[in-house]
Amino acid sequence: IVRPFNEIPGLWKNGWANLYNFWKLDGFRNLHRLMLQNFNTFGPIYREKIGHYESVNIINPEDAAILFKAEGHYPKRLKVEAWTSYRDYRNRKYGVLLKNGEDWRSNRVILNKEVISLKMLENFVPLLDEVGQDFVARVHKKIKRTGQNKWTTDLSQELFKYALESVSSVLYGERLGLLLDYIDPEAQHFIDCITLMFKTTSPMLYIPPALLKQTGSKVWRDHVEAWDGIFNHADRCIQNIYKKLHQDAGTPKKYPGVLASLLMLDKLSIEDIKASVTELMAGGVDTTSITLLWTLYELARHPNLQEELRAEVAAARAESQGDLLEMLKRIPLVKGALKETLRLHPVAVSLQRYIAEDIIIQKYHIPAGTLVQLGLYAMGRDPKVFFRPEQYQPSRWLRTETHYFRSLGFGFGPRQCLGRRIAEAEMQLFLIHILENFRVEKQRHVEVQSTFELILLPDKPIILTLKPL
Ligand code: HEM
Ligand code: 2DC
């Protein structure tokens, strides 16, 4: 028997009362923990309305499979109104992140070839490897300066720079030089704007930005200022490449980067290219850097595992004889570590789709058009889904445990993360270089948890020590 939609358990009858309670529970920063609690209270499916945000939430991999089978030809995520409102307000085009329908699909198909195809990896890897090497050189320098043969620090700012340098080198085919002693204040401002943009987005998930705009609220003003900073800097980078392309046209050389490739391909309008390249640049900073920070934190807490990974990397280096693409095929445990990091510390607390057709989940009928969310953070910590979920165990991704709809850190299907290949290569190369050069240790026993600022971030600074091997 199928039970009706209105019988799904949960609090969905009074969105504004729920928003008030959510706010009292500091839900703006605790979303991931509140979702976990809701699954404990209501079971594997619950319906919820907070403010004007309405959804059905699920946690099981098998149910995720049903969800994604119903995503339709034009998969659509939760509409982040803060982001669309800004673009409407400033008359800027939506990029692939915010487009929907046929407009999204036609842009995405072209971007796929230049950004997420395996073929492009060949072009990206040498660029990203160079950034990795520069990061190592920078750390060695810092270690020398301390005079103590080690460097103890909160690496997050360093990792932001590493990530921005990496994604820029792939997008623009040239280096910004963010890992040098002098840090360009414009690049630093760009980094700060991204953080502010994410932080100011989360309240606007529940309270319509139009309302906040009318009342002249600070969140909206900060949000606009943050996006303005992001777009201004990206515009400058894009203009710079655009000009150069016109200056030395017709000289076929090395791989020129994603932006120049798209411009030469001439299949998307310049405005569309600018919009998506800006999104790629902004999406490529906090995501990979925080995932790397969490990974270093886990490696510091598990010294034996760290040695195991180091051995794998050394063997892969020896066997591949200088061929980096070969080397990346021989580090399954390093890849497992990154999956394990995203299981316990996912960037995205949930994946969501407005379903294109009616479905039945946990015997409940869910009509087409409903926003269905997979609780990614909750799934990663569910003992019914992962054996001993509290343990950081990269080897679980090599072995017998089933992986069916369990490795979803980058989303799923045609709407999955466009930056996935860049992110994976960038993070794998980073770990290779770190493991080949430093031992990572941590100070005292500090339990770090997640806090929600649209993406999940560490709730306190992670202080690590790097020692040369
Ligand atoms: C979308 C995760 C890095 C650009 C997404 C989505 C997730 C995600 C979960 C939504 C996918 C879905 O709905 O199925 C991550 C994680 C990263 C990462 C975990 C790193 C650890 C990056 C990087 C870039 C990027 C480096 C840019 C170079 C994008 C874009 C979209 C997206 C443009 C929207 C794609 C579309 O709507 O068609 N990402 N991301 N991401 N990501 Fe990432
Ligand atoms: C946040 O309830 C929680 O990859 C909401 O690189 C549902 C939701 C919707 C969209 C998700 C968002 C969450 C987290 C951050 C994501 C975003 C889609 C893309 C974005 C996952 C789960 C991200 C970080 C992009 C951002 C690119 C942007 C800066 C240009």
CA of 138 to the centre of ligand 2 (A): 31
Residue 336 is predicted with a pLDDT of: 97
Residue 254 is predicted with a pLDDT of: 86
Contact present, 327 and 350 (Cβ < 8 Å): no
CA of 455 to the centre of ligand 2 (A): 7
Is the CB–ligand 1 distance for residue 76 below 6 Å?
no
| Distance from chain centroid for Cα 28 | 19
Is the CB–ligand 1 distance for residue 291 below 6 Å?
yes
Specify the DSSP class assigned to residue 4. Answer: P
- Write out the two tokens for 152: 């103890």
CA of 252 to the centre of ligand 2 (A): 37
CA proximity to 348, closest of 196, 455, 202: 455
CB hemisphere CA count around 221 (13 angstroms): 5
Residue 441 is predicted with a pLDDT of: 97
Residue 252 is predicted with a pLDDT of: 65
Which residues, 6+ apart, have CB-to-CB distance to 199 below 8 Å? 453, 454
ipTM, 2 dp: 0.99
Local confidence pLDDT in tens for the 469 residues of the chain: 999 999 999 999 899 999 998 888 888 899 999 999 999 999 999 999 999 899 999 999 999 999 999 999 999 999 999 999 999 999 999 999 999 999 999 999 999 999 999 999 999 999 999 999 999 999 999 999 999 999 999 999 999 999 999 999 999 999 999 998 888 899 999 999 999 999 999 999 999 999 999 998 999 999 999 999 999 999 999 999 999 888 876 666 789 999 999 999 999 999 999 999 999 999 999 999 999 999 999 999 999 999 999 999 999 999 999 899 999 999 999 999 999 999 999 999 999 999 999 999 999 999 999 999 999 999 999 999 999 999 999 999 997 778 999 999 999 999 999 999 999 999 999 999 999 999 999 987 888 999 999 999 999 999 999 999 9
Is the CB–ligand 2 distance for residue 282 below 6 Å?
yes
Task: Compute the distance between CA of residue 195 and CA of residue 35 in angstroms, rounded to an integer.
Answer: 23
Residue 272 is predicted with a pLDDT of: 98
Task: Compute the distance between CA of residue 374 and CA of residue 235 in angstroms, rounded to an integer.
Answer: 35
For residue 319, how many other CB atoms are within 10 A of its CB? 12
Is the CB–ligand 2 distance for residue 371 below 6 Å?
no
Is the CB–ligand 2 distance for residue 342 below 6 Å?
no
Q: Maximum CA pair distance of the chain?
A: 71
Task: Compute the distance between CA of residue 376 and CA of residue 352 in angstroms, rounded to an integer.
Answer: 10
